[in-house]
Amino acid sequence: MTEKVLSQDEVDALLKGVASGEIDTEEAKDKILAGVRPYDFTSQERIIRGKMPGLEMINDSFSRALRNSISTFIMKYTDVNIQSVDTVKYSDFMKTIPMPSSINLFTMDPLKGYALLVLEAPLVFAFIEFFFGGSSAQHVKSEGRAFTLIEQRVIQKIVNIALGDMTTAWNAIAPIKPEYVGSEINPQFVSIVTPAEIVIKIEIYIEIEDFAGKMFICIPYSMVEPIKEKLYSGMHGDKFETDYRWTEVMKEALKEARLNLSVDLGRLAISFKDLLNFEVGNVINLAQSVSDELTVNVEGIEKFKCIAGCRRGNQAIKLTGFIE
């Protein structure tokens, strides 16, 4: 492709036009400046670009652990899924938090600063409903009031469970020690960073039978900036090299495996001569009392102790202990 180069005559004519004022250089300058806007190099909006594999691994581990912990705590199967992970301004995050909500502040030692764990009010009331034996949370509604002392205690237990699972989830990437600091119900009274500062917003979707609610985790980017290389690389820790979904499928499959169970009524040492003389109708006395415990074998391995008996016309055993 031929380059367009001004000839010497064209250059001379251009310089002459500028010198005489025939060519308005100020107009051209104004057009250029019209499309220019100031750029704040201190703004955090430029900081985060792309995904953070390390944080994704942490969230995946956290959601699995929290699923098991909450299910055990309220005695109801609870499904926990990471809905989204976004970077937003702190002011924008707080605008999305309904009032009232359970807004819990915590630290992540050795990282500096405060983070938030937020439970929407309907989710809080659902936890309480199921914790105290309720069968459904469909009727649960946010009442626009402060939480009672009993409700606060249940919330505290849930928060402690979540922070404990968070400790385990972060351990392989960047060991931390979360610690509860305090709680609030009004977003306007919570200020962990300036409104313009960038935070990592983790939205967690929680389903319990016919109820669904949301939990949020808000971590200032400045808080995790010292370990951002680990969060972006995602290559730390052998624990995450396993395909956990495959592991869960395998666990469920193993639960359906059929095993052979047998009970030893007793044992007796005999000679080969005695064996040859056995006939139908012979009574063989075992070296064991009828009141002695028997051994239960699972696939040939001694696992339990039991006593023999009868139930509803069938022979039966009652487990009395475990064999380590």
User: How does DSSP classify residue 146?
Assistant: P
pLDDT of residue 218: 96
Q: For the chain, percent helix, then strand, then coil, each to nearest 5?
A: 40, 25, 35
Closest CA relative to residue 108, chosen from 191, 174, 203? 174
Structure-model confidence comparison of residues 177 and 291, the more confident one: 177
Binning pLDDT at 50, 70 and 90, where does residue 243 land? low
Q: What is the mean pLDDT of the chain?
A: 83
Angle at the Cα of 145 (from 142 to 149), degrees rounded to 5? Answer: 105
d(CA 225, CA 231): 9
pLDDT beyond 80 at 73:
yes
| Token code pair at residue 179 | 């610690």
3-state secondary structure (DSSP) of residue 153: helix
Torsion of CA 32, 38, 39, 44, to 10 degrees: -150
Residue 122 is which amino acid?
Answer: P
Residue with tokens 């989830």: 169
pLDDT classification of 240: cutoffs 50, 70, 90: very low
Spell out the long-range contacts of 38-44 with Cβ–Cβ below 8 A and sequence spacing 24 or more.
Answer: 43/196, 44/196, 44/197, 44/198, 44/221, 44/222
Between 195 and 99, the more confident residue is 195
User: What number of residues does the chain have?
Assistant: 324
Q: How far apart are CA 186 and CA 189, in angstroms?
A: 6
| Domains identified in the chain and CATH numbers | 46-253 (3.40.1550.10), 261-274+288-322 (no CATH)
pTM: 0.59
Contact 62, 165 (CB under 8 A): yes
Give the CA distances from residue 275 to residues 111, 264, 268, 284, 303, in Å, rounded to whole numbers and listed in that order: 76, 19, 12, 11, 30
When mean pLDDT is compared across 236-250, 262-276, 289-303, the lowest value belongs to 236-250
Sequence-ordered alpha helix ranges (H) in the chain:
8-20, 25-34, 53-74, 90-95, 121-131, 149-171, 221-224, 228-233, 244-255, 272-276
Q: What confidence score (pLDDT) does residue 2 get?
A: 53
Predicted pLDDT of residue 289: 79
Distance between CA atoms of residues 293 and 307, nearest Å: 5
Identify the residue whose tokens are 């979707």: 205
Interhelix angle 121-131/53-74, rounded to 10 degrees, is 40
What percentage of the chain has pLDDT greater than the value 70? 80
- pLDDT at position 92 is 93
Instruction: With a cut of 90, say whether residue 199 has pLDDT above it.
Output: yes
Q: Residue range 3-20: average pLDDT?
A: 69
Categorize the per-residue pLDDT at 241 as very low, low, confident or very high, splitting at 50, 70 and 90: very low
Q: Give residue 140's pLDDT.
A: 54
Q: Is 114 a residue whose pLDDT tops 70?
A: yes
Q: Name the 3-class secondary structure at 24.
A: coil
CB 85 within 8 A of CB 143: no
In this prediction, residue 13 carries a pLDDT of: 74
Percent of the chain with pLDDT over 90: 40
Most confident of 50-54, 98-102, 222-226, 239-243: 222-226
Question: Which contiguous run of DSSP H or E holds residue 82?
Answer: strand 78-89
Q: Which two tokens stand for residue 165?
A: 């699972």
* Each residue's pLDDT tens digit, 23-68: 655 665 555 555 556 655 555 554 555 678 889 999 999 999 999 9
pLDDT at 5: 65
Q: How far apart are CA 263 and CA 265, in angstroms?
A: 6
* Whole-number Å distance between alpha carbons of 47 and 49: 7
Lowest mean pLDDT among 47-51, 247-251, 311-315: 47-51
Q: How many beta carbons lie within 10 A of that of residue 299, not counting itself?
A: 9
Interstrand relation of 294-298 and 301-311 (parallel, antiparallel or unpaired): antiparallel
Interval 176-200 mean pLDDT = 91
**pLDDT, position 239:** 47
